[in-house]
Structure 1
């Protein structure tokens, strides 16, 4: 438990050049898995260490060797730094003194049955046995009197104990089988002459005796003997001396002296070896197929948060992941603030407009009975000024914090100011157009040109707007909404919910659509009455007003709808709408009323009664003006002027005092 294999590589039986360098490169594909367990012979172990040294990986790998490495010096010669910290094992062994006595007593004369003993003798004593010796070269001749352990170094091989116990295990198994199968029959009985390996294996696994080192020899159900091992670590001391030190043992369980372990020139810190480091908060594990301890860490992107170690889920629409992406938090809600530059500019313009409108209204009220105020139509002027005031005032409702009351007032007054303004202007231009069209046919005045009739027509047009608003109220009651999609950016940290009234772009266009229709119709009438003499009416100022207003709203449409996908949509659209309304009101106020206020305040001498003309005189003048335009290109200027003057004198008998046009 707790051990996982990140990679399993095989060392070829006959490795080609560069094979061990390739193995090191493969091991580095999982750089965090540093512990390398090697089951290899000492030559291959040495070549693996040498390849790691060539790859400049000294100190990176943590080597764990089997008993084939053990405490041998040959694999680590001249590679001490690479092998530093290596953990190796050796079967726990004891010296069999009886074997030492026996082996030291062996000589060429008493051990002729071992065909390899002569070769061992030459190798051990460095001599040559006559002409037929196995060792080449001019070595001294063996005398045969050499003695093992006296004339050469001797140390009992570590596996002698296990070889002896293995032989005794086979002997005990055969003895028990003979006892069971032969029942005291001397020698090999017929029953044992044809036994199979499985039967013999069963007897071998069932043996139980004390071995040569007085340790019990038994086998488990898998045929394994109890493991008893000494655990070594290859350490380099402060004196740069490398040696194997016993750091623990295994006998049914692990006994390890962690304090005695050393890593990288005396560092006692236990190094880590994992295939994959733990994922950080907000990351999920993607397991590598077939390797349960190896994974890739994938961050929960976008609006996803970490649900478990292996999965991410999407936050609810009105929420976003927290900073660690381990849960969801509500998305902050914003609105257009009064201190924002997007609000400050429209409010400043609206305040100036309201002050200017109030000044005009006060001036008109104070000079209500003067000729200029009476001549421009007092009743219609006050209606138009009311519409201009509402166009400025709607700015404050558009910026105010959305609530039920604010949303209700927005619906009512959003298009009402424009409706007041353009209904009054349309009534005026229509009246002028009808007067001069009627004058071409008859001297009788057309119907519905009195002030009362004009007010009825104007408020009838306004009532259509109010009726539409009431239908809107009934079909879709006003309420506030939080729009989380408007500023739902790719970065959840920047996501915001926008608190606003439930007025869609389509509803906005429908609310303003009727006023725009009035504006377009008024513009058409302004074009039709452009030829009327400016001394008789306000047709030309109204025409200039409508042309400029149309340009303003033509510019408004692409700006308003072109920013529908912008993250700043709320700010841009609100500012654009309020500025457009204020500019429309400013154009009407500036072109229609500021010249009159200028005369009333600064040139009162011009604000005096003049001779009024009858309807017939007005029509005659308009007709002659038309003739002037038509014949101006055919006759000398003097003739035209003379004809016009004569006509005016001829019709002077029709001049009477009338209140106004």
Structure 2
């Protein structure tokens, strides 16, 4: 009797819907959404999304299900790789809280900047991190998709034997598995589903007339004619398609059918209830007043909310106050069978709506463990599974866990030292140029009365050489273990000394321009000739940099910092800039001086002055600008002691560029071509 009543009610529903379903189609698409695939936890907010319904649980329950599995088996150390879409980020936060609340520890969490799948580069980074890990690995990706078999093979190849892998996506099956040796180490969480009566018969016999204009759908149905398809869905038709991979024939492309099935039943029952409610109120639904439905789409929400019905499988279905179907997750065990086939076996279930204590069930006997897993990881009985670690503690910041994850060991302290090869090379280069610059200064003092030294203000040349000596020496402050004093002196010392060097070059360049203009008849610039103007330029320009550095040191000075997060297993001692704005202001001012000097020198390079060295200055500043323009992206992309090495290289390269381009040609004439060290020949230089 119950069966006949149900069939009669189904017939009533079908008859009532025949004339009105097409009127509701556009309205449903516009206002009411019934999803069969979205697990986004934010969509359960009834305030923001009051008209969103789904026949699949949201991922908040998925996180709880994974936490239950970890707690059941006592798995403590967990690696997680996930995508960084908004819903997944929040879900992982909730999952982490549950793991830590149950005494577990997150050994590693890597996120990928994609919504559905991680790139090969990101996966390789994750593989390297977990290669020696003893943790359970959770792959929270491909949420609404499936793994290719090759991806699964890569996953297990990079995880040690005796380790578990938990995923939220099934694996796409193939008809040829002989090249893949998949081990039984995968647990997969998928929304609950059940076989539907006559569904595969419908797939085999349906004539897709309405899909004739849809090329993709038409192709989908034609593929099912392939002889390699399983008999349960193979269609009896002739296909002219070439032999291609028929993934949806062999795999998981029908996985959402149960949710679609329930979605259709939910909408059908809501429509039926609304129509029957109208009949009881004296409304007769005829063709003449069917159009009223189009203007009242919001009425259906009243009947969707808290909907209670039976689907075609006689299963009780409920939609809760958030519009979610009160369903749960199946826990699948992926097995690679001896006959070279893949099998999904339901070994447990999580139903968040069940009474406490009955929400999570596991059938241990149904699980097929990897051989090395049962021998190494667990001691099995029918009563209890004991792990090799009952509790875990987080290591202090200055320590990290050993390879076996059973003890904390001290992290290695690292910095750019004088003893390591890189430090030795940079120190040697610095001392070499220090000696060369000192020797050049001695040569210029010794030959101070010769025309080539007296040209362009020899006193400015002395100041420039002394500032370059200090620049080469201050690079040594960057090497060695950072402390409060060295961190304060590093950038301030270099900023001031190099600003003096650039100010000297600017003074030299301006001297060339004034000297040329002063030779013109009636020029008023003759009074500006002499060392007073040059010295004023050097003093004023370097004073501005000094004020900037003092303001930096008094407001937010650099300080020594122990960086424990930069590299795994190491403590990096480095200098924190204190104020990043002040740091870039100091560098920016140096760039400003170099830029102004370069422009003036470039414009004055061809002036017919007797002692014009503007060409040499132009080339030297071109080197300086090139070094510092390339410094910024290189500095920002470097880490640890290599970041310090980049700074030292920029200091040495820019200082050496000024030294070589400006003074080496003069030293060549002084020492090797003394006959050219006269006013007549200098006019030709």
Larger Rg: 1
TM-score by length of 2: 0.42
Asked which structure has the greater RCO (Cα within 8 Å, sep 6+), the reply is 2
TM-score by length of 1: 0.43
